[in-house]
RNA sequence: GCUCCCUUCGUCUAGCGGUUAGGACGCCGGCCUCUCACGUCGGUAACAGGGGUUCGAGUCCCCUAGGGAGCGCCA
């Protein structure tokens, strides 16, 4: 049997970290089993759905590389089909019109709550034979009154819910449009979904959906309810916990593979392994190994993973991922002759692409001033003299290599009987503008002699203006 | 309130009846050092509580507590 999984977001916002994880699990499960992954847009809530959100979700999935084999389907385009199924249930006597008003239902619910009961519809319209004038009816599914629904959930294990806990849910609104629990069932059935992998907030819906499925004589899929992702405060992850939109991580300089890796390890593990290639995810992931309890989202670990991926990346890949970040900083990375050296020397010290760009900037363009604190600390004492002498030493240097530069720096330190820091730091500020850069010899080598000479001159001039 | 789900270091987790309860992130400290980093060595820290079952329980069962979700003409 071919495995078919699906991801059914409703387009009411961007792709959320939590949604991305269930999408990832569904996608992995399909890929692992050589099956298909279906994307279905649940846009029946016209009020809150938008085309921008559809695009945002597509963008998020695209960035993460979660490719789908089928779809995207749109529920709004399947209205006739839902109508057909509703009519079928009606004709078979498995659904009925309900003329209760919202007010009546409110009263019922209130009374039930007051009694300490779970609010649920009492089925009073099941027997009704005459329509009520002036009232457009909804359609309710005739849920079985006795027995249990048994779910053998792939992550939670066996779950048993008594039908007496359920009620006759609305499957069509008074305007005729279908509701969620109906559309999901029809879609999953029509699309041949074999494995429903979704958040465990849907567990309560599952028995209802199974009952509808059975009324339709459809085969039921396997279910896997994965736990929610929580914020640091233990509450369901939401906007107030910070960045929860997948694309925000792209903007913040994260690599998609790092985000994917973080997400797959959240609630799932394979022994002590932390880093998983895409192929390893396919090979090793198993939905039944997913943790039963919810997991807290930990941005620090994601950052660490991002760093690991940046360190291990090929320079050219880093350049491609960072290209638009460089553009945002006003740099066209493709025009930089020394782009590769710059990336190589900075990638091991950058936790994000943003940091990589930031650390690379002074290699690609002139510095626009000196960091005040650094100046105060290092542009003092003999700094000016040292730079002048250094310039004289480096001027004739040939070839201009890190090794040669290194040698000259040490010779100078020895001659003046000062620590290397007394030379490296002023020099670093002279060429980088700040007291932070890769090793000074490599920095100079990559920068090139001409730029270094110019920046030392500028620094010397600047120091001379100091009081 | 009712129903369902969940519970190992701060966090992600390993563990599938016998372990000094392991790894990772973070944090702290040593080493390295021209800055920032890297690296490396070490440290900190957990079986929610209580009953059973068993020679033996983090592992199996029950109860309690705590947390989460659902109870819409939202999805």
Measure, in angstroms, how far nucleotide B7 C1' is from residue A113 CA.
29
State how far Cα A150 lies from the chain centre: 33
For strand B, list residues 229-258 of chain A whose Cβ lies within 7 Å of it: 230, 234-236
Identify whether A232 is preceded by a cis peptide bond (ω within 30 of 0). no
CA closest to C1' of B35 belongs to: A436
A110-156 pLDDT per residue, tens = 999 988 889 999 989 998 878 787 889 999 999 999 999 999 999 99
pLDDT at residue A7 is higher than 90: yes
Identify whether A399 is preceded by a cis peptide bond (ω within 30 of 0). yes
What does the longest C-alpha to C-alpha distance in chain A come to?
107
Helix (H) or strand (E) holding A158: strand A157-162
A84 with A205, same domain?
A: yes
- The answer to whether position A260 is within a domain reads yes
Residue among A153, A182, A301 nearest A232 (CA): A301
Using a pLDDT cut of 70, give the percent of chain A over it: 100
**Cα A408–A412–A413 angle (5° rounding)?**
120
Give the total number of structural domains in chain A: 4
Instruction: For residues A445 and A436, give the distance between their C-alpha atoms in angstroms, rounded to a whole number.
Output: 16
A71 with A82, same domain?
A: no
The residue out of A299, A332, A347 marking a domain boundary is: A299
pLDDT band at A291; cut points 50, 70, 90: very high
* Strand B atom within 7 Å of A351 CB: no
A261 with A344, same domain?
A: no
A133 with A221, same domain?
A: yes
Rounded to the nearest 5°, which phi and psi values hold at A127? -90, -10
**Structure tokens, A180:** 């969620």
Residue A426, domain CATH:
1.10.10.350
Compute the mean pLDDT over every residue in chain A, rounded to the nearest whole number.
92
- The answer to whether position A440 is within a domain reads yes
CB–CB of A155/A288 below 8 Å? yes
pLDDT band at A316; cut points 50, 70, 90: very high
Nearest nucleotide to A75 by CA–C1' distance? B75
Measure, in angstroms, how far nucleotide B15 C1' is from residue A269 CA.
12
**Structure tokens, A75:** 């529920």
* Strand B atom within 7 Å of A373 CB: no
Minimum mean pLDDT range among A160-164, A339-343, A463-467:
A463-467
pLDDT at residue A218 is higher than 80: yes
Position A130 scores a pLDDT of 82
ipTM: 0.94
Query: DSSP of A165-221, one letter per residue?
Result: G----EEE-TTSPBPHHHHHHHHHHHTT--EEEEEGGGGGGHHHHHHHHHHTTPPPP
Residue A234 burial (CB count, 10 A): 8
Q: Which residue has the tokens 């009694």?
A: A115
CA closest to C1' of B23 belongs to: A272
* Strand B atom within 7 Å of A449 CB: no
CB–CB of A415/A455 below 8 Å? no
**Structure tokens, A297:** 């989202």
Position A227 scores a pLDDT of 93
Instruction: For residues A97 and A194, give the distance between their C-alpha atoms in angstroms, rounded to a whole number.
Output: 31
**Structure tokens, A119:** 């609010």
Cα–Cα separations (whole angstroms), residue A158 to A35, A125, A267, A277, A387 = 25, 33, 19, 32, 75
- The answer to whether position A367 is within a domain reads no
- The answer to whether position A308 is within a domain reads no
* Strand B atom within 7 Å of A433 CB: no
Instruction: For residues A290 and A227, give the distance between their C-alpha atoms in angstroms, rounded to a whole number.
Output: 9
A257 with A335, same domain?
A: no
The residue out of A226, A259, A281 marking a domain boundary is: A226
Measure, in angstroms, how far nucleotide B37 C1' is from residue A437 CA.
9
Residue among A12, A85, A16 nearest A247 (CA): A16
Domain of A397, in residue numbers: 372-464
Position A360 scores a pLDDT of 95
Measure, in angstroms, how far nucleotide B70 C1' is from residue A89 CA.
25
* Strand B atom within 7 Å of A164 CB: no
A126 with A211, same domain?
A: yes
Which distant-in-sequence residues (6+ apart) come within 8 Å of A420 by Cβ? A409, A410, A413
CB–CB of A227/A201 below 8 Å? no
* Strand B atom within 7 Å of A421 CB: yes
A206 with A84, same domain?
A: yes
Residue A147, domain CATH:
3.40.50.620
CA closest to C1' of B5 belongs to: A200
- Bases on strand B under 7 Å from any protein CB: 1-8, 10-15, 22-26, 33-38, 67-75
**Beta strands A157-162 and A148-153: pairing type?**
antiparallel
A71 with A85, same domain?
A: no
- The answer to whether position A307 is within a domain reads no
A222 with A234, same domain?
A: no
A101 with A184, same domain?
A: yes
A263-281 pLDDT per residue, tens = 999 999 999 999 999 999 9
* Strand B atom within 7 Å of A157 CB: yes
SS3 A4: strand
Nearest nucleotide to A269 by CA–C1' distance? B13
A60-106 pLDDT per residue, tens = 999 999 999 997 999 999 999 999 999 999 999 999 999 999 999 99
A84 with A222, same domain?
A: yes
- The answer to whether position A57 is within a domain reads yes
- The answer to whether position A309 is within a domain reads no
The residue out of A226, A246, A273 marking a domain boundary is: A226
- The answer to whether position A102 is within a domain reads yes
Measure, in angstroms, how far nucleotide B14 C1' is from residue A266 CA.
14
* Strand B atom within 7 Å of A466 CB: no
* Strand B atom within 7 Å of A173 CB: yes
Q: Using N-to-C axis directions, what is the helix angle for A449-465 and A440-447, rounded to 10°?
A: 110
* Strand B atom within 7 Å of A168 CB: no
- pTM for the structure as a whole: 0.93
A190 with A116, same domain?
A: yes
Position A398 scores a pLDDT of 86
Instruction: For residues A171 and A160, give the distance between their C-alpha atoms in angstroms, rounded to a whole number.
Output: 23
* Strand B atom within 7 Å of A453 CB: no
**Structure tokens, A172:** 């069509």
* Strand B atom within 7 Å of A103 CB: no
DSSP state of A288: G
pLDDT band at A433; cut points 50, 70, 90: very high
Instruction: For residues A211 and A138, give the distance between their C-alpha atoms in angstroms, rounded to a whole number.
Output: 19
């Amino acid at each position: 049997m071919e495995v078919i999984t699906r991801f059914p977001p409703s387009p009411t916002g961007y792709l959320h970290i939590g949604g991305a994880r269930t999408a990832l699990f569904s996608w992995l499960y399909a890929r692992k089993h050589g099956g298909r992954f279906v994307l279905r847009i649940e846009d029946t809530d016209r009020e809150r759905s938008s085309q921008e959100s559809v695009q945002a979700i597509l963008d998020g999935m695209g960035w993460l590389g979660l490719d789908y084999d089928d779809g995207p389907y749109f529920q709004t385009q399947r209205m006739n089909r839902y109508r057909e199924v509703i009519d079928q249930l009606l004709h078979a006597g498995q659904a009925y019109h309900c003329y209760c008003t919202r007010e009546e239902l409110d009263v019922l619910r209130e009374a039930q709550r007051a009694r300490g009961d779970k609010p649920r519809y009492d089925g009073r319209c099941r027997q009704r034979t005459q329509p009520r004038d002036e009232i457009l009816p909804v359609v309710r599914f005739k849920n079985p009154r006795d027995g249990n629904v048994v779910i053998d959930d792939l992550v939670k294990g066996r779950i048993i819910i008594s039908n007496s806990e359920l009620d006759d849910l609305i499957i069509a609104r008074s305007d005729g449009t279908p509701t969620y629990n109906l559309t999901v069932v029809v879609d999953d059935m029509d699309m041949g979904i074999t494995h429903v992998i979704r958040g465990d907030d849907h567990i309560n819906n599952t028995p209802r959906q199974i009952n509808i499925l059975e009324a339709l004589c459809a085969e039921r899929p396997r279910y896997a309810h994965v736990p929610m992702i929580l914020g640091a405060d233990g509450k369901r992850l939401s906007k107030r916990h910070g960045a929860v939109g997948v694309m925000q991580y792209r903007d913040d300089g994260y690599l998609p593979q790092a985000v994917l890796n973080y997400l797959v390890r959240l609630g799932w593990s394979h022994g002590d392994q932390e880093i998983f290639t895409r192929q390893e995810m396919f090979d090793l992931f198993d939905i039944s190994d997913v943790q039963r309890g919810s997991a807290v989202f930990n941005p620090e670990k994601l950052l660490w993973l991002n760093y690991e991926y940046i360190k291990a990346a090929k320079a050219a890949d880093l350049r491609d991922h960072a290209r638009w970040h460089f553009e945002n900083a006003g740099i066209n990375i493709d025009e930089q002759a020394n782009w590769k050296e710059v990336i190589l020397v900075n990638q091991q010290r950058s936790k994000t692409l943003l940091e990589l760009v930031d650390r690379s900037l002074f290699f690609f363009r002139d510095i626009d001033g000196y960091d005040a604190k650094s100046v105060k600390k290092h542009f003092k004492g003999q700094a000016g003299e040292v730079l002048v002498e250094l310039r004289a030493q480096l001027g004739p240097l040939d070839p201009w290599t890190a090794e040669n530069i290194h040698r000259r720096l040490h010779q100078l330190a020895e001659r003046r009987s000062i620590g290397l820091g007394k030379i490296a730091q002023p020099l670093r500020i002279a060429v980088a503008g700040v007291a932070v850069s890769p090793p000074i010899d490599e920095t100079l080598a990559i920068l090139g002699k001409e730029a270094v000479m110019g920046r030392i001159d500028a620094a010397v001039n600047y120091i001379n203006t100091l009081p």
